Amino acid sequence: MTINKIYDSPAAAVADVPDGSSVSIAGFGMTHSFPTSLTVALREQGARRLCIVANSLGTGDYRSNTLIENHQVNRLIVSFSARAGEAKSAAEQQIEAGEITVELVPQGTLVERLRAGGAGIGAFFTRTGVGTAIAEGKEVRTIDGVDHILEYGLKVDYALIRAARADRFGNLQFTGVGRNFMPAFAKGAKVTVAEVDEIVDGTLDPEAIGVPGVFVDRVVRRTVEVPHDFPAPRAGRGADSARTYHGKPALTRRQMAELAAGLVPDGSYMNLGLGIPTLISNYVEGRDIVLHSENGVLGYGMIATREDYDPEVYNAGGQYVHLRPGASFFESVTSFEMVRGGRVGFVALGGFQVDGQANLANWSTPDMIGGGIGGAMDLVAGDTTVMVLMTHCDSAGRPKLVKDCDFPLTGLACVNIVVTDLGVLRWDGTRFALEYIAPGFTAEEVAALTELELDTSQVQWQS
């Protein structure tokens, strides 16, 4: 019999998904790389009591969140159940009401668990999440002098993924950062269904295949057209916005990013996380700094404009970016290998709190239902210099540099540098030393707006 994995429609491809199934649905951020046609078909098919495994749930009528809005889900295994500053989603409402249970998993651990499940590996130890809420109730083992937690391989009933093109053998090809979660999700499922833009007449070039057909059971052409969303900054959080302290303007987010870029030496590999750190990419042009993004790109640069962007090239914040010479694309498993394995020398992250023990909290606040771990726990678990960019105080005027974090921790004793809108602080092994002060402010003013006892004798420069 000739192998032919092509199905006539998305509806036919998900017709046999029964109630109570576990379904992994790929997709990055709020809008990117989601198998929208298959998700809509599953909504219309109506299977209930689903366990959805995903990085994020997305937004709108075409992404994973639509299944929750249709009350088809009773369990989530995700990296994001909520996002700071966003209106309460259907997922948060149903979690709060007890209709959905949620297990939050760091992004790198999620793809590694699915890869392991598909590879027949029962469990593995990882440094990611040690000392945080993620580690509660899990076995801890010290390996080479470092604590690791035990994580189990994850196998699901169905995976819904997306690719650029396929052939009848189920071989898949991707463009840009489109492969991100797809290989791991495909490997971790009993039945993998791929939605593609094009089904070729014949076969794909073997050298160009991103997922071999052995991992793919069904292929269907995309039927739901979803326009590309161009991300816009939220009100009051534009790159040129600035907070005011004691009646004086602090640094803008753009100035913070430029300042942070100047702290990184040429020849460095650097990961940029969500929020203010994404702006750093505008300040590496002409420098020998290679930027890494957890969604699977190495060697990108400036943020693109609405008039000049490639919808298949975006950063960890979902912003479209331009590539630089020497760029490469890869899947998420490989992406996190680069960081945890010590290949990426600098990581820049946003933060809610940093405390006097160099601990970081950046994924959940008291008003969030669950939270958004994303890849941050993986990013701080490697042998890397961690730089946190955040405003000195929150919108209510409360310090973000605190004696002890009272928000859930992202990592223990992991922060090396903090860049705020009032200055630069560097961890010396026992406390933070202030080495730069924003124009118009004094060391005493900066110190007074923290809960920490800062070393203010090390100030090196002030603009």
Helices (H), 227-328: 253-261
Rounded distance between C-alpha atoms, residue 254 and residue 241, angstroms: 8
Rounded distance between C-alpha atoms, residue 389 and residue 374, angstroms: 17
The single-letter DSSP state of residue 318 is S
Q: What are phi and psi of 380, to 5 degrees?
A: -90, -5
Which listed residue (151, 195, 294, 331) is catalytic? 294
Interior CA angle at 354 toward 284 and 413, to 5°? Answer: 90
Q: Give which of 87, 91, 86, 88 is closest to 67, Cα–Cα.
A: 91
269: three-class secondary structure by DSSP: strand
Cα Dmax for the chain: 79
* DSSP H/E element including 354: strand 353-355
Rounded distance between C-alpha atoms, residue 298 and residue 338, angstroms: 10
Rounded distance between C-alpha atoms, residue 326 and residue 92, angstroms: 41
Q: What are phi and psi of 397, to 5 degrees?
A: 85, 10
Query: In the annotation, is 312 catalytic?
Result: no
Rounded distance between C-alpha atoms, residue 242 and residue 184, angstroms: 41
33-49 per-residue burial string, b: 16 or more CB within 10 A, e: under 16: bbbbbbbbbbbeeebee
Rounded distance between C-alpha atoms, residue 421 and residue 407, angstroms: 21
Contact by Cβ (8 Å): 173, 141: no
Q: What are phi and psi of 447, to 5 degrees?
A: -65, -35
The total of other beta-carbon atoms located within 10 Å of residue 113's CB is 25
Rounded distance between C-alpha atoms, residue 274 and residue 290, angstroms: 17
Rounded distance between C-alpha atoms, residue 204 and residue 171, angstroms: 7
Going by their DSSP bridges, the two strands 353-355 and 401-402 should be labelled as: parallel
Rounded distance between C-alpha atoms, residue 107 and residue 332, angstroms: 9
**Which pair of structure tokens corresponds to residue 411?**
């990592």
418: three-class secondary structure by DSSP: strand
Active site residues: 294
